[in-house]
Structure 1
């Protein structure tokens, strides 16, 4: 049975678990517009209309974790995008906790800008942030899809799943770790007041930092060296000897 971890319960998170749904994120977005107040998790055993970045269809049969989190007034508007880093770190923490509990060694767990979890160089989870307003109140919905039992055969990035990597966990088992990790990292972030610490933690696990990658952003595609993350969360790259800041886009291996 899917349930919150102890830290999440103590911090006042709520949970809804359903067998089947169109999309956990779309449902929470509508709930928020109807007046629902977070923090509320929605977890589904399967999705019939799951979405990834840029509206891509997210194949969502049973076996993986499909979850979304509604937060109400999580931070001033200029800090909301930082939630990508907060939630990515929570995913990292949860994977490390599961691996430690099972004494699984030899995994390289990294975070790819802006919001992917990579294990041994392959994508195993992704995040999607969406936001809106209800009256004068701001809300954010964070969708989190985790490849526990299987992964898509065709995707924009090489993919894998926990089972293939020797991590045997169910959606219910992993979600307890994840919900606690999210509660802890949100507390650390302190509504954007402590992003410097979040940023430093994220950079210590960053994927391909210091290497040349392909950048797809703002209708451009170019090769650049990843150099860091600025205080707002933008990706710092070196493009032909000139520093650029990427605020939205994707990065790909050459």
Structure 2
């Protein structure tokens, strides 16, 4: 376990460990990131305070075939969802307000409370390592955040309406992610059923930006490989990579 009060990026620290041969289950944990990033290289806002967020990256060495990488994304999202449900339930909050936004954001009443970033390295036809990074808004004050962050983000503490202990939240997060991600055998079961049950917007209209094209339809679920399934005006469509409009 490698702990920092502040770090540029837990992903960068974990990558250095992985390249140096760190074992599966090696963690990098911080209370603040100065150069955190999300999917597609987007920056992750982090305030000066060290009191309201958890940032963690775990090194994995999965025996799953690289073609099953989408399952790792679903497993990571489910681990974060499980941890958040435990935290919120323990605090007497409404855990039913927690949903997953494809591919792996955690929402509370429709607003983002956590994000997951996954990066991997291959050696021949197998994973050398996979890094799974999570940023969880436990009790962040968004008063100093950019307007676009204030409009779409929230915290678990805001959902619960009572103070949360950051150390206990960390225990819940690391425990759930460990259960969902480590020690995966080549024949590990596909988690698509559990993931679909947690999916936000199931059966509702959705619009995604896919390679410069807007794809609109009704969200029907997720394929075994993690692709989003939409019923569009021209028929069913599977979207493996895209951004919500």
Work out whether the TM-score is over 0.5: yes
The alpha carbon displacement at 1:70 in A equals 0.9
How far residue 131 of structure 1 moved from its aligned partner, in angstroms, is 0.8
CA apart distance, 1:137: 5.5
1:246 Cα deviation (Å)? 0.4
Q: CA RMSD in A?
A: 2.3
Does 2:213 align with 1:223?
A: no
Normalised by the length of structure 1, the TM-score is 0.85
- Between the aligned partners of 1:137 and 1:202, the Cα distance in structure 2 is 23
Q: Is the 8 A contact 1:74 1:80 kept in 2?
A: no
8 Å contact from structure 2 (residues 65, 127) kept in 1: no
Residues of 2 paired with 1:68 and 1:213: CA distance?
A: 30
**In the alignment, what sits opposite 1:126?**
115
- Which stretch of structure 1 is more off in the superposition, 43-52 or 163-172? 163-172
Alignment of 1:150-169 (within 5 A): 150=140, 151=142, 152=145, 153-155=147-149, 158-165=152-159, 166=161, 168-169=163-164
1:108-141 Cα distance to aligned partner (Å, 9 max, x none): 1111110110111111101010011468761111
Alpha-carbon deviations, 1:161-191, whole Å to 9, x = none?
Answer: 1122225324322110111112222369655
Q: Look up the match of 1:182.
A: 177
1:7 corresponds to which residue? none
Partner residue of 1:57? Answer: 43
Runs (5+) with no aligned partner, structure 2: none
Number of aligned residues:
236
1:147 aligns with 2:137: yes
Report if aligned partners of 2:66, 2:127 keep a CA contact under 8 Å in 1: no
CA contact (8 A) 1:113 1:250 kept: no
Is contact 2:79–2:176 with CA below 8 Å preserved after alignment?
A: yes
Distance 2:17 2:77 in 1: 24
Shift of 1:21: 1.0
SS at match of 1:83: helix
Equivalent residue of 1:193, what SS?
Answer: coil
Tell me by how many angstroms 1:106 deviates.
6.6
Distance, in Å, in 2 between the alignment partners of 1:192 and 1:182 is: 19
Tell me the distance in 2 between the aligned counterparts of 1:42 and 1:106: 27
Report what 1:23 is aligned to: 9
Gaps in structure 1 of 5+ consecutive residues:
1-14
